[in-house]
Structure 1
């Protein structure tokens, strides 16, 4: 049997309140992005074990919405875009499912889910409707999302702005994930939840900052989880 070492990961709560939610250890969401080289099979399995040791429940969630549309918007022919998306998602699905099974063979505490499986849940639908409404009414949210789209496209297309089609697909991709950042306890029916990712979440400054508009719920936290640095790494 392979031994999984979980102390190779370190979590940094985004705020002091996020630290409280981490210490409650009720629930963790481990976000996995298709096409991101950070998420090797070993890394995803290690993250699953790390979370299973520390939290009562864990959901490993990967994005599977708008992936083919994204490839097509970035220049792939429609058939090539679909094939690339299918291949990409097949690999991510296998990594996530194997990681969940490895960390929790009983399947009672660690689950692997695509975002598409959440869209029918009442909590997700309510949050998605709220986000869509705020996108129409809140100029701060629109500007923040537009900036994220700019940052995504600047290294992938000629011209920072991108085409209207590219910007629309990128926006829909971001908005599909946003309910998980906003209030994952409402989606998964838990008391509190720490959304874990290897980078600061998009929109984190907005979600956890002062003021009105789109803000994370009081029982939602964010943790940045990365491999632990050793003296040799410094």
Structure 2
């Protein structure tokens, strides 16, 4: 998959709005998150990647209000271009529907959860001096009409039907997403239904720069993403990770900082 500039919006650098005369770095306490061997708030990380994308998962207990707040603060302390990504309500509700909740109730509940998490991210970034947070905290449905988003999603869906490594990667991710929602091993029908969640996030997992309109981007998530791994490993014909795009696993050392973490701070 070769990145193009088709549909790419002009990149707008982040503008910080001072609060009470204090620089953002004066207000931010490092949250204890590590990426690529560096603290998330490290300027060495921002110099390397330019833009950071924080992937959030509404029903994952890791992404508590406290964690989302700390992540946004750490990212805004060093990166001049911060984006936060949340799934849409229809995809998020799929897990609850598989667990037996009526679809309408599942979607309404998902909307509330996403709305609350989105507000936490927007409020935190604003407190860190980031302006225009609405254009930086995204729900994936925002990109449904984006040409590059549609192209990548279509290729991923096609690969899911024809390529065993892609199909296995998607099933691994759907199985993990359904853990805690269904009592037993997910059925093939449940995994098939929840694959739509993975399809919806795939374009940002594989080529955030093309979708967001930036030159480079570091996508950060709290665990490995098999879909990214099989594409980055060249195991899916016709799909490549976009130029300038990197996905890295976040480690949480808030409670147990290592000597390296303390030194880097």
State the secondary structure of the residue aligned to 2:93: helix
C-alpha spacing 1:50/1:109, structure 2 compared with 1 (3 Å): farther
State the secondary structure of the residue aligned to 2:229: helix
C-alpha spacing 1:22/1:203, structure 2 compared with 1 (3 Å): farther
C-alpha spacing 1:114/1:47, structure 2 compared with 1 (3 Å): same
Pick one of 76, 93, 101 that aligns with 2:126. 101
Task: Structure 2: give runs of 5+ residues left out of the alignment.
Answer: 1-19, 21-25, 38-43, 260-265
Alignment-derived partner of residue 33 in structure 2: 9
Alignment-derived partner of residue 125 in structure 1: 150
Deviation at 1:23, TM superposition (A): 4.2
Q: How many residues in Structure 1 have an aligned counterpart in Structure 2? A: 226
Deviation at 1:179, TM superposition (A): 0.8
1:147 aligns with 2:165: no
8 Å Cα contact 1:100-1:112 kept in structure 2:
no
8 Å Cα contact 1:33-1:63 kept in structure 2:
yes
State the secondary structure of the residue aligned to 2:250: strand
Alignment-derived partner of residue 159 in structure 2: 134
When structure 1 is superposed on structure 2, of 192-201 and 2-11 the one drifting more is: 2-11
Deviation at 1:134, TM superposition (A): 1.9
Matches within 5 A, 1:144-183: 144-153=169-178, 155-162=180-187, 164=189, 166-183=190-207
C-alpha spacing 1:55/1:167, structure 2 compared with 1 (3 Å): same
Distance in 2 (alpha carbons) for counterparts of 1:139 and 1:231: 39
Pick one of 96, 107, 113 that aligns with 1:88. 113
TM-score by length of 2: 0.74
Deviation at 1:168, TM superposition (A): 2.6
Alignment-derived partner of residue 34 in structure 1: 58
Distance in 2 (alpha carbons) for counterparts of 1:205 and 1:58: 23
CA RMSD of aligned residues (A): 2.9
8 Å Cα contact 1:207-1:216 kept in structure 2:
yes
1:44 aligns with 2:75: no
Deviation at 1:212, TM superposition (A): 4.7
Task: Structure 1: give runs of 5+ residues left out of the alignment.
Answer: 14-19
Alignment-derived partner of residue 184 in structure 1: 208
Deviation string, structure 1 residues 125-183 (Cα, Å, up to 9, x no partner):
1211221222233232122212333344455324424251x223210011111111111
TM-score by length of 1: 0.82
1:230 aligns with 2:253: no
